[in-house]
A and B are shown apart, each in its own frame.
Chain A
Amino acid sequence: MSVRGPALVVAEGIARTYREDPSRLTRVLLRTPPRQVTAVAGVDLTIGTGETLGLVGESGSGKTTLGRLLVGLEPLDAGRVIVDGLEVGRLRGRERRRFRRRCQIVFQNPYASLNPRYSVRQLLGVALRLRGLRRSEQTEHAVRLLERVGLSRRHLDAYPRLLSGGQRQRLALARALATGARFLVLDEPTSALDVSIQAQILELLVWLRREEGLTYLFISHNIAVVEAISDRVAVMRAGRIVECGPTDQVVRDPQHPYTQALLRAVPRVPSASC
């Protein structure tokens, strides 16, 4: 399988299992044993520098957990993840902070991922401080970031509630870039947005990737959106990647029956003959 550029992200046999502990009462009364849910069950994955890997799957397939594992937001139960030469699970202290700056994640719901009590200036300030910028330099940097994502200086003192959904997602992107990140996990970044706004954000993502030399893991349940932005696509089901390949190939000639079923279910506009 071809990977564009040298690998930036390498995951080998990674796994994550959650234990769902029933409350004590149900445990005693119903004698329910703790239930185990394997969210990610041994995934191998490589993302090249400057590449966008799309990750599709239905709800509960483990896409989000996989994304979180790659940026070290979840402990690994097995396997290892190496991003830009650093092994995620082994980092401590200064090294770990350096790693955190390099990988960022943008969440689905910009209404929930931005602290409503922080102004735009403060939200970006937190991230810029991590990069070691002094307060005096922060404003100038914040403005530059806002302009990069299509916002401007006049948004500096706004609070998230005053921004529209699209503007909030732009802000979430600016914050992710503020740390100097090279690798972004985009977890359904457009599914809370309207289609006309979704297209704006996708266009911005493509532009930023080229300008900043970013690498993306783009997670979505919508294979049409993934097709529009990804170089390669990985299809996930029940914690495993069932198919992975160049986008055109996966969409035009899916090999795995699950991918075929997924593609069949996507609504399409009827052809012009009618």
Chain B
Amino acid sequence: MRPRLEVRDLTVVGPAGGRPVLLLRSLSFVVEPGEILGLIGESGCGKSLTLLSVLGLLPRGLAVQAGSVRLDGMELIGAPQRAMAAIRGRRVAIIFQDPQNCLNPSFTIGRQVGEALCIHKLARGRRAVRDRVVELLTEVGLPDPEGCMDRFPHQLSGGMQQRALIATALAAGPQLLLADEPTTALDVSVQAQIMELLRDVNRQRGCSIVLVTHDLALASQFCDRIAVMYAGQIVEEGSVANIVHRPAHPYTQGLLACLPMLGRRQQLRPIPGEIPTPDEVLAVGCAFAPRCRHRLQECTSAHIELHEATDGHRARCLLVRHSPQPVGPPT
């Protein structure tokens, strides 16, 4: 089967202090139909930028230098604006972190959810649009969908706003949903409800999802596969079980060791040092090397590929090449 989304060697450059720096460095990943992929990483690693590149919505000053993004086989990099406009919302949609800033405060929920229907000409006439919006609001579990239609965003709670935003994203029936930290602004109990809703969307519509989050625990509960990003690269990818229980990259191991996890009252072991800014990242070698406790001499001089640890589990680390066994468990 053709993958839903195929990103190959995507490289994005942006200016930093007058000279161009690489923000995404030869990023490749695949999302299969119906699959949920988690993109994990800390701030500045390029997770959100990856989603924006897929949509062709890079901020001013940033450009795709190389690579390809294929949606159901169709190349999106360099596609004309008109083609992109027909794709956005219809075939791929995005939901952002902060629903309050994404919903226009001066339009009703109904109007904003219905907008995509009108743009893509999926419903004609007031009555038809209204009926379809009520269906969508019901699908995302908003209580009293008829009433919500005519309410303004500020009249809804954060969780309800996020549901409304998901309804806008689903309106034109996309087969790929990009979710950029969709629950970070919400309380845990609301987070659980929203994640459940996204899972229902995935199952019932067969819609693929890319979940961008910094929360490895959340991703491990929700995703089929996880890709861990660091400094604009994917450093490890694999099934949830492999990433969480048999992490091969020292960064993933470090993330797991410093993540507070309930009921496992272990000592947290911080990763020393700080996340590098894009202009600090070494041109050759491993970006994580300065913070890595397994660092070898070649780590800062050799070009490091993704090495296969086990089937479908790959890590950008020389230690994986040296030993097919993952390096020590993150005790």
Contact = CB atoms under 8 A, between A and B. Distances in A.
Contacts of A133: none
Nearest to B40: A195
B262 A227 contact: yes
B240 A194 contact: no
B214 A194 contact: yes
A270 B265 contact: no
Contacts of A272: 241, 245
Given A221-B187, A269-B244, A227 B260 contact: yes
Given A203-B268, A265-B191, A266-B188, A196 B261 contact: no
B274 to A, nearest CB: 6
Interface stretch (B117-125, B160-168, B217-225): B217-225
Interface residues of A, number: 36
B43 interface: yes
Interface residues of B, number: 37
Given A221-B187, A224-B260, A251-B262, A270 B275 contact: no
A274 B254 CA distance: 21
Nearest to B245: A272
A198 B258 contact: yes
Contacts of B189: 58, 261-262, 265
Interface string A213-231: 0000000011111011000
Interface string A241-274: 0000001100110000000011111111110101
Given A203-B268, A265-B192, A267-B215, A195 B261 contact: no
Contacts, number: 109
B9 interface: no
A26 interface: no
A55 to B, nearest CB: 15
Interface in B185-223: 187-189, 191-192, 195, 214-218, 220-222
A193 to B, nearest CB: 9
Contact of A251 (B195, B255, B263): B263
A228 B265 contact: yes
A195 B188 contact: no
Contact of B259 (A166, A195, A223, A270): A195
Q: Is the interface of A mostly helix, strand, loop or mixed?
A: helix
A164 interface: yes
Given A195-B214, A196-B255, A199-B269, A270 B244 contact: yes
A199 B260 CA distance: 8
A274 B244 CA distance: 10
Contacts of A268: 217, 221, 261-263
B32 interface: no
Contact of B271 (A196, A247, A252, A261): A196
B218 A202 contact: no
Contacts of A261: 189
A32 interface: no
Nearest to B184: A191
A47 to B, nearest CB: 21
A190 to B, nearest CB: 9
B262 A266 contact: yes
B42 interface: yes
Nearest to B221: A267
Contact of B270 (A196, A223, A224, A267): A196
7 contacts: A194-B42, A196-B275, A202-B268, A262-B189, A266-B188, A266-B262, A268-B217
Please provide the 4 A-B residue pairs with the shortest distance between their CB atoms, ordered closest to farther. Answer: A199-B258, A199-B270, A194-B42, A265-B192
Given A228-B268, A264-B192, 10 more contacts: A195-B259, A196-B258, A198-B258, A199-B258, A202-B260, A267-B218, A269-B221, A270-B221, A270-B241, A274-B241
